[in-house]
Structure 1
Amino acid sequence: MILVNEETKAIVQGITGKQGRFHTKEMLKYGTNIVAGTSPGKAGQKVEDIPVYNSIEEIKRDFPDINASIIFIPAPFVKDAAFEAISELDLVVIITEHIPIHDTMEIVEYAKEHDTILIGPNTPGIITPGVGKLGIMPTHIFNKGHIGLVSRSGTLTYEIASQISDDGYGISTGVGIGGDPVTGQNFIDILKRFENDPETEQIVMLGEIGGVPEVKAAKYAEEHLSKPIVSFIAGVSAPLGKRMGHAGAIIEGTDGTAENKKELLRQHGVHVADTPKDIVKIIEELQ
């Protein structure tokens, strides 16, 4: 497992909002160790019996060992919340989408300066089956196992996780790096963590059209990783120049097309699945 483990002690920023309340309940139900939440001006309230504070600084007076945060705050206010969390904690997950790109760039740079692990923005989060989640993913489709799952797409993550579980396999940790052009952790960052994780035996990397992050990850893996990687690239039928879903999912010329990426991934030793169903078939062959 990576990122979320038995040592994770998390807070929820924006805990009193609709999304914050709902997902706090779901994360607690799954066993995630959430100890407090923030909502400026609402200190003293409780959400699912979790105490609400005005700031992280106030939380740390009562819970000095908190180390992670998940952010459910409207896009215009995320930067301030993220800066607060990054300066105080080891792991920050930003669920919020539609954050201005300049804000995201500042957040990512700030996280690097503070050596804080940043997941997102625009991510479904992280789940370590049997331990907990800092995210919004449905938990019933994630069986515990030895396959590390990393993806740009939340919906695709759910589809593949469900197939993996239905076919009798399981996941060590599932990570959505986020669908925006700029994110905290990238594919290479997560592949490194899976390579060093004794519970992860194989890695599934789910990509999509646009940019070249999957290809960069494949080049890195060819030189530095020992564990097999299975990949699927969504967007085979996407027309040139048209944005498809995520802000990062746009192709120009031949660079970034699904077919181009698939060929390059194969050249660098990645096992490429042509359809989602082929992922499990390849996993079985690698057993």
Structure 2
Amino acid sequence: MSILVNKDSRVITQGMTGKTGQFHTRLCREYGFGKDCFVGGVNPRKAGQVWEGLPIFASVKEAKEATGANVSVIYVPPAGAAAAIQEASDAGIELIICITEGIPVLDMVRVRDHMKKTGSKSLLLGPNCPGVMTPGEINVGIMPEHIHRKGHIGVVSRSGTLTYEAVAQLTALGYGQSTAIGIGGDPINGIKHIDALKLFNDDPDTEAVVMIGEIGGSDEETAAEWVRDNMKKPVVGFIAGVTAPAGKRMGHAGAIISGGRGTAEGKLAALEACGIRTTRNPSEIGELLKSVLTSVKE
């Protein structure tokens, strides 16, 4: 089992003919069932052409109608990425994965408002995220495949790099992953920790979850409260930015302590208060999970 994507997903790439889109689409097609899962691309200026066997369509609507696509991954440059998200939403794509970094916040505010007003049922992952990986089946985004291993641990993280770090540690300890999700670090985004945790909780093949957050906002605290009241599986946590000074943005646009809120220490305390074991050392994430699972079995 997995969440969000699997070998039956049908994926189109918006921005497939650009350098980044071509590079990652090619890699993803070479992994797992990628050759079957990736079914086309979208570029209005190159409609009717074929790239490495994949048809290029003028619009997402046209691509969906022709291929049955239910997932879109977006590599469109920042200036046009929000419009690409909106187009995919209007076309009824079930899962929209936006990899693009640097989308203006106001653009994302408008897109989110549009999706709400139109009653969109699309799930948005990102923007500014590494995508989603179901080991052994499909990779949609930019995650390095070689560190993943099929298994039963769910991973959800705001940080792309820390997603890879946690996955590599788990794999080294013999723990495979059911699905690894990078939700992105922008202040206006789609799927949040709580959404991923709900999906993992309902997935019969996920036995435990690693949740990685960072300074800024209150998403981790909200997720922790939900875990306390609803989660049936062990969750361990890490929060990046313990030494971050207030008012200084740390890498991600959403990673900023404002008005004394959103500190790493505050988030860690909230997670611990809700029964989530945490570590302040990112190199100990895998060992922390191992210790929790060992204690559960005993």
- Whether these two folds match at TM > 0.5 is yes
Q: Deviations over 1:154-175 (max 9, x none)?
A: 0111111111111111111011
2:46 alignment partner, SS class:
coil
Aligned counterparts of 2:65 and 2:259: Cα–Cα separation in 1: 54
Pick the aligned partner of 1:284 from 284, 290, 298. Answer: 290
Pick the aligned partner of 1:73 from 71, 76, 97. Answer: 76
Matches within 5 A, 1:261-276: 261-276=267-282
Partner of 1:257: 263
Aligned counterparts of 2:62 and 2:218: Cα–Cα separation in 1: 42
Query: Given the alignment of the two structures, is residue 235 of structure 1 paired with residue 246 of structure 2, yes or no?
Result: no
Q: How far off its partner does 1:255 sit?
A: 2.3
Unaligned 5+ segments in structure 1 are: none
Q: How far off its partner does 1:202 sit?
A: 0.4
Partner of 2:223: 217
Using the size of structure 2 for normalisation, the TM-score is: 0.92
Unaligned 5+ segments in structure 2 are: 294-298
Query: Given the alignment of the two structures, is residue 206 of structure 1 paired with residue 197 of structure 2, yes or no?
Result: no
Query: Given the alignment of the two structures, is residue 142 of structure 1 paired with residue 148 of structure 2, yes or no?
Result: yes
2:45 alignment partner, SS class:
coil
Query: Given the alignment of the two structures, is residue 38 of structure 1 paired with residue 39 of structure 2, yes or no?
Result: no
Pick the aligned partner of 2:181 from 172, 175, 179. Answer: 175
2:237 alignment partner, SS class:
strand
Pick the aligned partner of 1:153 from 145, 159, 171. Answer: 159
Aligned counterparts of 2:109 and 2:9: Cα–Cα separation in 1: 26
Q: How far off its partner does 1:6 sit?
A: 2.3
Q: How far off its partner does 1:115 sit?
A: 1.1
Residue pair 1:12, 1:69 contacting (<8 A) in 2 also: yes
1:286 alignment partner, SS class:
helix
Partner of 1:11: 12
Q: How far off its partner does 1:57 sit?
A: 2.7
Q: How far off its partner does 1:141 sit?
A: 0.8
Q: How far off its partner does 1:79 sit?
A: 2.5
Partner of 2:64: 60
Query: Given the alignment of the two structures, is residue 104 of structure 1 paired with residue 123 of structure 2, yes or no?
Result: no
2:44 alignment partner, SS class:
coil
CA-based RMSD of the aligned residues comes to 1.4
Aligned counterparts of 1:117 and 1:280: Cα–Cα separation in 2: 29
Q: How far off its partner does 1:283 sit?
A: 1.6
Residue pair 1:11, 1:66 contacting (<8 A) in 2 also: yes
Partner of 2:54: 50
Q: How far off its partner does 1:197 sit?
A: 0.5
- Please, which moves more after superposition, 72-81 or 265-274? 72-81
Residue pair 2:237, 2:279 contacting (<8 A) in 1 also: yes
The alpha-carbon distance between structure 1 residues 107 and 253, as it changes in their structure 2 partners (threshold 3 A), is closer
The alpha-carbon distance between structure 1 residues 208 and 172, as it changes in their structure 2 partners (threshold 3 A), is same
Alignment identity in percent? 47
Q: How far off its partner does 1:274 sit?
A: 1.9
Q: How far off its partner does 1:43 sit?
A: 1.7
Aligned counterparts of 2:203 and 2:111: Cα–Cα separation in 1: 27
- Please, which moves more after superposition, 182-191 or 273-282? 273-282
Residue pair 1:144, 1:172 contacting (<8 A) in 2 also: yes
- Tell me the amino acid that sits aligned with residue 14 of structure 1: G
- Please, which moves more after superposition, 247-256 or 116-125? 247-256
Using the size of structure 1 for normalisation, the TM-score is: 0.96
Tell me how many residue pairs correspond in the alignment: 286
Pick the aligned partner of 1:115 from 90, 99, 121. Answer: 121
Partner of 1:2: 3
Q: How far off its partner does 1:103 sit?
A: 1.5
Q: How far off its partner does 1:214 sit?
A: 0.6
Aligned counterparts of 2:120 and 2:164: Cα–Cα separation in 1: 32
Q: How far off its partner does 1:111 sit?
A: 3.7
Q: Following superposition, which runs of at least 4 residues in structure 1 exceed 4 angstroms of deviation?
A: none
Query: Given the alignment of the two structures, is residue 86 of structure 1 paired with residue 89 of structure 2, yes or no?
Result: yes
Partner of 2:296: none
Aligned counterparts of 2:85 and 2:4: Cα–Cα separation in 1: 18
Q: How far off its partner does 1:253 sit?
A: 5.1
